[in-house]
Every structure is written in C-alpha cells, then in structure tokens.
Structure 1
Amino acid sequence: MERNIALKLMYNGTAYHGWQVQKNAVSVAETLEKALATVVCHPVKCTGAGRTDAHVHAETYVANFRTTSTIPCDRIPLAVNTRLPKDIVVVRATQVPPEFNAIGSCHRKEYTYRIYNSRLGNPFYVDRAWFYPKHLDEGIMQQAADQFVGTHDFRAVRSVGTETRTTVRTVYYFNVERRGDLIESRVCANGFLYNMVRAMVGTIVYAAEGKLAPEDIPAILDSGNRTLAGPTVPPGGLYMTQLWYDEDVL
C-alpha cells in the first residue's frame, strides 16, 4: 500500500542551487531524493513547500513523497540523515493523508532576512547574513516595511522568472528587529513571488539610506515598476523560518 510521507527538514543552502531539481546544478531536492531512494529502495519524487533560490537557507522546510516501503516513520529521519551531507537534516517524518501536498497544503510562509550591520565583518556570518558596514536605522526600515503589509500587487518587487497566474499576494506582517549588530526582517505572506523578499528588504534598506521615503512605497507598488524599488539583496541572508499547515507535520 502506498503511503504519503511528510518530512520536516532544515538545510544550509550555501552549497546548493536552491530546492528545485535542476539539470546542471546540485539542488536540495535531488540530494534528498537520492538519499531517500536508498532507504525505501525505489526512486523517489519529493514535493517541496516552495522554490527557495540558490544559496538560500531553511530553518524549517516541509517536503512530501510517496512510498510503498513499510519502514516506520520514526526510523526514517535517522536512516536518511546517515545518507545525507551534513548541511541537510531531516528532523521528522509523518504519514499524511493522500491529498496532502507540501506546497498546496501550506497556508502561509515566513521568511527571515538577516543583515550583519557592523563596521567590521564577522566570519561566523559569512554566507549566513548580508554584511552591511554602513549603519542602518531599523526604525526607518520598520516604517518602510509597514507599507508592504496587506493585499497588494507585488510586481514591483519580483524578478522575472517563474510565471504565476497573479502577482497579488497578502503580507500578514513584516517586522524589523535589531539584536546588537544583527538586523532581522521577518515577513509572512500567503505566498511569495520570485525574489520578492529579497527585493522588499532591498527597498527598506534604500529607505534607511534615504534613497526613497517609506511613504513612497505604496506608489511604487501601484506602478508595478521593478526599477523604482530597491535592489535584490544577496541570497545568503535569507532563511525560510516558518510554515503553516492544518496537518501536524511540524
């Protein structure tokens, strides 16, 4: 009998070209599928919670796959982890209903972007936070971030890539917090466009630099013009940090 298994995992994305399987590059999905196949003794296709870009990390991620193997769920994480590189770890495996789909069943997602904001770099944040030596005012960043909250057309803060039916999304919160030299921007939405979080962070950094005012952002969103918003910040500071499901998979 075929089972549908959901995996909760985490990964450091530095060595990978994102989640999605690609022809000429190493991906998280392909690495995980190969490890799973050796455990369940048949080819495996994983569906992931979202297409994280190259070098982006996940503190929380969910993927599901189907298997005819009878291996108990509580044994899957250890069995798979011994076959995975150290930068991908499966935390939990749960049997879920046949209709469960890691991306389709996800109601909302949270990404966190980390900026190491200090005059001097920190070797422990290399590829894990964006080193930004000029002081940023997190208060202005928060004022700018508030402008993105709500239901809007987010065309102005996406890179051209995967085509979607609509560019309208709902952002539930966009919170900026400083802890010492680390600035964390947490953004939660019902879905994200290609590079949307990184472009939103680039825009609030532009606001802190005085290159645009927080109150300019609604007009930028209305324009749909990508060139009016801030730059797409580097991928190493971005983490998928929370996911919301009805099923108990986390």
Structure 2
Amino acid sequence: MRNIKLTIAYDGTDFHGFQAQPQLRTVQGTLEDALERLTGARIQVNGSGRTDAGVHAWGQIVNFHTDSRIPLEKWPIAMNVNLPNDVIVRQAEEVPPAFHARFDATGKVYRYQMDLGTYPDVFARRYAWHVPYRLNLSRMQKAAEHLVGSHDFTSFCNAATPVDDKVREIHGISFETRAHLLQITVTGSGFLWNMVRIMAGTLADVGRGRIEPEEIPEILAAKDRTKAGVTAPAHGLTLFEVIYPKV
C-alpha cells in the first residue's frame, strides 16, 4: 500500500466544514467521492485538522493509503478532473507508511482577512470580514504581542471545545495591509475551536477602542470566554499552511 499526501486548497463557502457528515457536503466527503471514482475503492482521507463551515484553505494537508499504481505526478491532474471547481489538489507526495496528516503536524499557519473599506468589497465578500470601523493598527499590534507565547487559551476558544488541555503556543502574529484589506497571519503549535476567529475578533475590538491592549493578559488569565471579544465570521479565515518536521 502506498501512502499519498496531498496539499489541497478549497473555497469553504459552500461546504459544511472539512469533516465528513451524513447528507452534508463536506471537503472530506468530496475528496473521498473523487477517490472512489478514480480508484474504484472507498478510501478514508485523513486531514491535518477540521475547518468549520465557511472556512477556506490554501494549504490543507490530507493523506490516504491506496494500492492504486497511478504515477505520483498524475495524482493532482487525475483528482482535479474528478473534483468540483471549489476544491483543487495543488501537490502530491508519496510519504512513509506511518505518516499521518494530523498526528505528525507540528504547527499551522492561519490567515484572517478584514475588509476595512467604507463599503464592502464585492470581490472580497467571500474571503474577508467587512469591518466598517476605523481600526488602530498600532493598538492591535501591541495587543497581539501579549498573545504570542505559551498560554492557556480558554478565553479564546469556543466554550464547548471538547478538550481539557487548552494550552497552546503562538509563535508569531503579523499584520499586512494591501489597500483596504488587512491580513493577520497567526503561526502556532496548534489551535482550539474558533481560536483564531476569537483572536481576530478581539484584536478588532482592540483596534476600535472597545478593549485596551493591556487587558489581554487579564483576559487570558480569566480563562473565561465571555471576557474576550467577538468571534469573527468564518469566511475571513484561511488555513494557509501545515508544518511538519523536516526529514
């Protein structure tokens, strides 16, 4: 059996998230349907992680085991012929049998995009949260500095997050503006449910003066979701890259 690793991109607008769910259109289900048409076998796909409904990906990683002899360089072409136009296989690699897209990941990079124009950009409406307030970027950067490092992020995840250990390490947060679009890139060891969206919403609240940058350590220490800011909408979030150990 071969272990194939795919790098995929998708527009999450019309998906009910990544994870397969009965009777719902999901990225995992769509990939598995394509693999079945291609190989004649029902093959389970392992994802590096779940993305919620409406969240996009540029660098989602999946792997699967197959006895198909399709040449490695043909996998992207063969898959893309069998996929809808809102999912694209960008790269295929053959990896060791034990490789697992989720369990071998050591970090992830997410990007959250805000549309700061007076009126919504019709061409960015699927990929950026329109924030019709003047945001102070300097304040947001100061607040972000307090989020970098290893912290208990209970205040920055969905209250229903089904894990006990909510300590995660954020390696860096950067900001980039292009015309009226603000892109926030967050790199970390791992992320909790809604964590990046709550971070983005909180930073937006800092930028508009609702929260002071110096309050972030207190919000972290509270371990209380109600102390942080709003949960930014899903459509502004993109899973940009999944990080694995170099071999």
- Residues 33, 161 of structure 1: alpha-carbon distance in 2 compared, 3 angstrom cutoff: farther
Partner SS state of residue 70, structure 1: coil
Asked if the contact 1:138–1:177 (Cα under 8 Å) also holds between the matched residues in 2, the reply is no
Cα distance per residue 1:71-97 (max 9 Å; x no partner):
111111111111110010001111111
- CA shift, 1:5, in A, is 0.6
The equivalent residue for 1:172 is 171
User: What is the distance in 2 between the residues matched to 1:133 and 1:99?
Assistant: 48
User: What is the distance in 2 between the residues matched to 1:32 and 1:247?
Assistant: 26
Q: How many residues align?
A: 247
Within 5 Å, give how 1:28-39 maps onto structure 2. 28-39=27-38
- CA shift, 1:162, in A, is 4.4
Asked if the contact 1:81–1:89 (Cα under 8 Å) also holds between the matched residues in 2, the reply is yes
Structure 1 length-normalised TM:
0.96
The equivalent residue for 1:64 is 63
Cα distance per residue 1:118-162 (max 9 Å; x no partner):
111111011210011111111111111111000000000100344
* 2:80 counterpart of 1:81: yes
Partner SS state of residue 229, structure 2: coil
Partner SS state of residue 101, structure 1: coil
- CA shift, 1:34, in A, is 0.4
Asked if the contact 2:4–2:65 (Cα under 8 Å) also holds between the matched residues in 1, the reply is yes
Cα distance per residue 1:25-76 (max 9 Å; x no partner):
2110000110011112210100101111111000111100011111111111
The equivalent residue for 2:234 is 235
The equivalent residue for 1:23 is 22
The equivalent residue for 1:98 is 97
Asked if the contact 1:138–1:178 (Cα under 8 Å) also holds between the matched residues in 2, the reply is no
Unaligned runs of 5+ in 2: none
Structure 2 length-normalised TM:
0.97
The residue type equivalent to 2:171 in the other structure is: Y
- CA shift, 1:174, in A, is 1.1
Unaligned runs of 5+ in 1: none
User: What is the distance in 2 between the residues matched to 1:198 and 1:179?
Assistant: 20
User: What is the distance in 2 between the residues matched to 1:76 and 1:185?
Assistant: 33
Bigger mean CA deviation after superposition, 67-76 or 228-237: 67-76
- Residues 129, 199 of structure 1: alpha-carbon distance in 2 compared, 3 angstrom cutoff: same
Q: Calculate percent identity across the aligned residue pairs.
A: 38
The equivalent residue for 2:132 is 133
User: What is the distance in 1 between the residues matched to 2:159 and 2:20?
Assistant: 19
The equivalent residue for 2:50 is 51
Aligned-CA RMSD value: 1.2
* 2:183 counterpart of 1:184: yes
- Residues 41, 161 of structure 1: alpha-carbon distance in 2 compared, 3 angstrom cutoff: farther
